[in-house]
Structure 1
Amino acid sequence: MPIRTTRRAGRLTVALALTLAACTLSAAPADADPRPHPADDAAALPPDDFYVPPAALPEGRPGDVIRSRKVDPGTPTPRALADTWQVMYRSTDALGRPHAVTATVLVPKGGTPASRPIVGWGPGTQGPAFRCTPSRMIAKGALYEQWVINAMLEAGYAVAVPDYEGYRPGPKTTYMVGKSLGPALIDAVRAAQRLPAAGLSADAPVAFRGYSQGGGAALWAGEFKADYAPELNLKGIVAGGVPGNLMEVALPLNGRPGSGFLLYALIGLDHAYPELKFGDVLNDAGRAMVADLEAGGCALEMINKYGNKPLSAYVTRSPLVDAPWVARYTENTLGTESAPGAAAKIEVPVFQYHATQDALVEPNQADALHKAYCAQGVPLTWKTYDTTGRPPISDHLWPIQAANAEAMTYLADRFAGRPAATDC
């Protein structure tokens, strides 16, 4: 199906709230909490020293557990389905330095944990504030993708959900930085395997899955795997709504409904790469915007307060053509074999999908990415979902629900060792 791109404005707050609630409720088991859980619910969470990294990291390898605790998710279904832990583990940042990341590990109750496959689920955009941390959202019952995790638990898979880099009091998240996302997802799986209480096997079959930011994380993990985690028994990857080329995704967002996501991506790159010095080009409004988002901004605030705002409202000049910025967003482009640290190619089957109309993640760059992977010899299945007529935000989020049955079949086939079809 050819991809067509349109740009539409709309009443995004209502669209997002309804879409998230619809995704949560339509796929949820009958005993799930019937109430939608907007991100604002996470404001009720108290401060938590669990997320404060130690002053000095303990010696160890990427994926080693630093600390852990048993938790109860905030909704009935995952509580009934799984034993759940929060973990802090060693990982690697975008500059190759060791650091600490947190995650949630969910293991289906009953049976033999050591026999269970493990899915590393990359969560989608939550927001820059500490209260938006995915593991805190799971604990509160506010993660809008919880229904996807529940489906994987029901299928008998253990699930590892990273928070990504920088979610802690005084957050410094590195949003959309693939060189950080990939290791964080890989090491969440390693941490799940090395958590003694979970009982999972170091040889368990593994898959990476995610949507939007999380789809990017899944593919980055696939690109890193050969060099960074050769021991993982990786069987396949499912990645939807992937922002593979940051510049091609960012430019259409400027001044449009998703402009808050552009602003957040610039903040994320700046946290990952200190030489970018985003603060040097921020005006007073820009400094206030960064402080506001990091103090309390989750996805709804990014849309409510910063949608349809041009970058020029927050900077004295655009930094995007400066050589340091160009170098960093170029090396964080998926599918470029010459990118520093990238593997020659993804070595396992990939199911990649995207909306035909997507106001947040430009469809044509995703199409280009799947073609690049095909040219590299990746065994890839590509599918588009027609979202013509859906409002902004809904047009981006709908495919995660539309593709879920196929995604689950794809995972089952990979874990069963069935050969993967390719339409390259």
Structure 2
Amino acid sequence: MRIFPRSLRRVLLSLLAVLTVLFAVPSQATAVPVGVPAPSDDPFYTPPLPLPSGVPGDVIRQRKVNAYADPLTLFPMPVNAWQIIYRSTSATGTANAVSGTVLVPKTPWLGGGARPLVSYAVGTHGLGDSCAPSYKLRTGTETEIALISQALLAGYAVVLTDYEGLGTPGQHTYAVGQAEGRAVLDAARAAFRVPGTGLSANGPVGLFGYSQGGQATTFAAELAPAYAPELNLVGVATGGVPADLAAVARFNDGNVGFTLVLAAAVGYAAAYPDVPFEQILNDTGRATVPRVEKACTVELATIAPLRRLNDFVTMPDPLADPRWQARLAENRAGTRAPTAPVYLYHGTADELIPLAVGRRLRADWCGLGASVQWQEIPLAEHILGVSVGGPAAMTWLGDRFAGKPVTSNC
């Protein structure tokens, strides 16, 4: 028997998600629970070398854990949770190992058919290993817990990737869409291969992400037809997408989000040894970059706001270098049409990722024949964009799981 009509339940879930996002306490203001070592001190995160033979999505290592919604909660979330190390593929096509978390509600799935799976890509958490979502879920400090909980409360399983180098050894390849997209798809593959989840490999899969997560899900959507064609991908909810990182970098040069430009440069240098970065840093750059490499979101935002790239390097315009141009072009979204329907949203007052970048992605996808439902969030800056748009995007994804007709406004 239903206590509330389905439409009312969705409204309540969306409202809960919005309130939790708006009033969340920054994760770095909380203490780490006793007994949960940071990834750098936890042997679980170090994969065997060489990697065992296999294919993308193979589970290299797994363990049962508890996940917490906040650091003050005494009882874990009512889910079965596994941390995993799984096989994926780097931006240059080499095999790598990525960490992540699988969450499955303990309540039976009553929606008919196989339980849906959301491959959830988090937004910017930082570049240090302690920023990894798998660690934050164990310590109750995951700042996107509201939207994750919205999916779990609806009965969906959720898998979260830590992305390459966030938790596992090596530098996080931040903002490199080619690596992120594969990590998102392989996380879904891995979730199906963890014993005891009850998930069916034929079950419906949805992708969800915003900001860095939006970049990751966007690339996953574009890569899926060739890279992971066996996944039953039914929908992609993606927002605040830095689809053209060169344009985003120039927009943020001298802007409040400039530290993210430095972070992206660190990520690209980690993914592509051919791009010049460390060798062009000046004294200021050499002093600042190590801080960026270890910082989580709150600290990251305070390192170099309103600065310019030329303050940190010895050459006048690194982004004009042909090697940078080539790698940035490889990671510009909108060049391939997703075959799954897409819900794409963007705040009209986004101060980090300009609205024009989102509109261009919509136009590119529509021109390629994709099914896109575009939603602008009036007067919303970057955080308000996900606070308002995220719950609606998760609800849209639920409609795809339910098999409802898709509306495109291309």
TM-score by length of 1: 0.86
Larger deviation: 257-266 or 411-420? 411-420
Q: Is the partner of 1:290 in helix, strand or coil?
A: helix
Deviation of 1:115 after TM superposition, in Å, equals 2.5
CA distances 1:288-320 after superposition (whole Å, capped 9, x unpaired): 2121222x3111112112111211221111321
Deviation of 1:37 after TM superposition, in Å, equals 4.2
Query: What is the rounded CA distance, in whole Å, between the counterparts of 2:25 and 2:144 in structure 1?
Result: 11
Q: Is the CA contact 2:211–2:242 (under 8 Å) kept in the aligned structure 1?
A: yes
Change (3 A) 1:421 1:297: same
Q: Which residue of 2 aligns with 1:234?
A: 233
Structure having greater relative contact order (Cα 8 Å, sep ≥ 6): 1
Larger deviation: 188-197 or 306-315? 306-315
Q: Is the partner of 1:115 in helix, strand or coil?
A: coil
Alignment of 1:2-401 (within 5 A): 26-27=19-20, 36-39=25-28, 41=30, 45-46=37-38, 47-75=41-69, 76=73, 79-111=76-108, 115-168=114-167, 171-294=170-293, 296-317=294-315, 318-337=317-336, 345-387=337-379, 395-401=381-387
Q: Percent of aligned positions with the same letter in both sequences?
A: 40
Change (3 A) 1:35 1:27: closer
Query: What is the rounded CA distance, in whole Å, between the counterparts of 1:211 and 1:190 in structure 2?
Result: 21
Q: Is the partner of 1:384 in helix, strand or coil?
A: strand
Letter in 2 for 1:299: T
Letter in 1 for 2:288: M
Letter in 1 for 2:19: S
Q: Is the partner of 1:168 in helix, strand or coil?
A: coil
Change (3 A) 1:42 1:195: farther
Query: What is the rounded CA distance, in whole Å, between the counterparts of 2:42 and 2:355 in structure 1?
Result: 39
Larger deviation: 347-356 or 38-47? 38-47
Q: Is the CA contact 1:207–1:411 (under 8 Å) kept in the aligned structure 2?
A: yes
Runs of 5+ consecutive residues of structure 1 not aligned to the other structure: 1-21, 29-33, 338-344, 389-394
Change (3 A) 1:98 1:288: same
Q: Is the CA contact 1:81–1:154 (under 8 Å) kept in the aligned structure 2?
A: no
Change (3 A) 1:386 1:274: same
Q: CA RMSD in A?
A: 2.1
Change (3 A) 1:27 1:61: same
Deviation of 1:39 after TM superposition, in Å, equals 2.9
Deviation of 1:129 after TM superposition, in Å, equals 0.9
Larger deviation: 120-129 or 47-56? 47-56
Query: What is the rounded CA distance, in whole Å, between the counterparts of 2:81 and 2:373 in structure 1?
Result: 32
Query: What is the rounded CA distance, in whole Å, between the counterparts of 1:311 and 1:79 in structure 2?
Result: 44
Letter in 2 for 1:311: L
Q: Is the CA contact 2:233–2:340 (under 8 Å) kept in the aligned structure 1?
A: yes
Q: Is the partner of 2:83 in helix, strand or coil?
A: strand
Query: What is the rounded CA distance, in whole Å, between the counterparts of 1:35 and 1:406 in structure 2?
Result: 19
Q: Is the CA contact 1:88–1:101 (under 8 Å) kept in the aligned structure 2?
A: yes
Q: Is the partner of 2:246 in helix, strand or coil?
A: helix
Q: Is the CA contact 2:47–2:168 (under 8 Å) kept in the aligned structure 1?
A: no
Between Structure 1 and Structure 2, how many residues are aligned? 384
Deviation of 1:277 after TM superposition, in Å, equals 2.9
Q: Is the CA contact 2:65–2:81 (under 8 Å) kept in the aligned structure 1?
A: yes
Q: Which residue of 1 aligns with 2:9?
A: none
Query: What is the rounded CA distance, in whole Å, between the counterparts of 1:406 and 1:38 in structure 2?
Result: 24
Change (3 A) 1:25 1:382: closer
Query: What is the rounded CA distance, in whole Å, between the counterparts of 1:108 and 1:209 in structure 2?
Result: 18
CA distances 1:243-288 after superposition (whole Å, capped 9, x unpaired): 0000111101112110000100011111000011311100122122
Query: What is the rounded CA distance, in whole Å, between the counterparts of 1:184 and 1:367 in structure 2?
Result: 26
CA distances 1:46-89 after superposition (whole Å, capped 9, x unpaired): 42111112111011110000001111123359933311111000
Query: What is the rounded CA distance, in whole Å, between the counterparts of 1:350 and 1:307 in structure 2?
Result: 33
Deviation of 1:405 after TM superposition, in Å, equals 3.9
Q: Is the partner of 2:92 in helix, strand or coil?
A: coil
TM-score by length of 2: 0.89
Q: Which residue of 2 aligns with 1:407?
A: 393
